[in-house]
Amino acid sequence: MKRMRTYLPSRKVIAVLAAALLATGTAACGNSDTGDNAGKGDDGKITLGFSQVGAESGWRTANTTSIKEAASAAGIELKFDDAQQKQENQIKAIRNFIQQKVDVIAFSPVVESGWDTVLKEAKDAKIPVILTDRAVDSADKSLYKTFLGSDFVKEGRLAGEWLVEQKKAASGPVNIVELQGTTGSAPANDRKKGFAEAIAANPNLKIIASQSGDFTRAGGKQVMEQFLKANPKIDVLFAHNDDMGLGALEAITAAGKVPGKDITIITVDAVKDGMQALADGKFNFIAECSPLLGPQLMELAKKVHNGEEVPARIETEETTFTQEQAKEALPNRKY
């Protein structure tokens, strides 16, 4: 009978294998579809490096799909990096894109501050940057070409104005709890601001507790449980996105209350699950925030790559939904 020989690779072979692994490129950070050595796209295609926030919500998943589909439809080579909700991962990804000499960089900044250094590096490397979905608070506007996304202050204001109208006959205090998005992010800061400004019209409307649920269902559920324990009378929940509102539904039901009736629920986004909750009477109102930014982003990438002028700010068109409107819109909702 033949004996099998165990093969032990020599040092030389190990070194060659390690070099080959490095050459194929491992992700700089987070989950990445990019390779470190991948430079410009083949066949003269525009190469777009895109750093995504993460996969924290239904909105984000729809946004990622929109960007990937639009890139492939536009013939743009996309280098996609998922930063898993960490700014340091986004900074690493942007540096990686600079090293790879991509043609254009786009990103959705997880938080507003702390971007100047890396944006300056991109500018020095002559790579145009597009902000999508979320803004940065950099004073130097020359660090990026344009910002494509929603007006988050307006979304908060629309949510607040609807509540003011609903509660105009209230003779006593209306207790509101607020589930904020990711601390330091543009949508959390701006939606909070817009909502507070709008409800100031009626002094009966009071925010009695406000905390971050990080835009996730788990976060929404956990923080709502705390709110319910600490506050015997909650009349309204304003959640900065559908996912946190959906998580909160579980906490509200477990506390023996009826969502949409005992507690009025207002959210932002209008993704399918949120619209279903609204149509089912569990939510009461949603201010829309569209994630379908892909096609516009690809157009902008082509323009900035060609050196064409683009507007400094491009605002997404959005609407609001009541329960009746959600029932009508739901069958055609794409995300």
Backbone angles phi, psi at 22, to 5 degrees: -60, -40
Q: Is 215 in the site for ligand AHR (CB under 6 A)?
A: yes
As beta bridge partners, residue 267 has: 286
Minimum CB separation from ligand AHR for residue 90, in Å?
Answer: 13
Restricting to residues 72-111, which ones interact with ligand AHR according to CB under 6 A?
Answer: none
Nearer to ligand AHR, 96 or 241 (CB): 241
Binding residue for ligand AHR, selected from 91, 103, 111, 134, defined by CB under 6 A:
134
By CB under 6 A, tell whether 50 contacts ligand AHR: no
Q: Is 32 in the site for ligand AHR (CB under 6 A)?
A: no
Between 38 and 53, whose beta carbon lies closer to ligand AHR?
53
Q: Is 49 left (phi over 0), alpha (psi -120 to 50) or beta?
A: beta
How far apart are CB 126 and ligand AHR at their closest, in Å? Answer: 28
Residue 234, amino acid: I
* Binds ligand AHR (CB under 6 A): choice among 103, 112, 161, 269: 269
Angle between helix axes 186-199 and 152-166 (nearest 10 degrees) is 30
The answer to whether the CB of 131 falls within 8 A of the CB of 144 is yes
Among 82, 133, 235, 288, binds ligand AHR (CB under 6 A): 133
Per residue, what are the HEC states of 150-201? CCHHHHHHHHHHHHHHHCCCCCCCEEEEEEECCCCCHHHHHHHHHHHHHHCC
- The distance of closest approach from Cβ of residue 230 to ligand AHR in the complex, given in angstroms and rounded to an integer, is 25
> Which residues, 218 to 257, sit near ligand AHR by CB under 6 A?
241, 243
> 64 or 323: whose CB is closer to ligand AHR?
64
Residue 289 lies near ligand AHR (rule: CB under 6 A): yes
For every residue of 16-78, which 3-state class applies, written as one string?
Answer: HHHHHHHHHCCCCCCEECCCCCCCCCHHHCCEEEEEECCCCCHHHHHHHHHHHHHHHHHCCEE
Residue 275 and residue 256 in contact, taking contact as beta carbons nearer than 8 Å = no
Q: Using the minimum distance from each CB to ligand AHR, give the nearer residue, 106 or 289.
A: 289
Which stretches of the chain bind ligand AHR, using CB under 6 A? 56-57, 59-60, 133-134, 187, 215, 241, 243, 268-269, 289
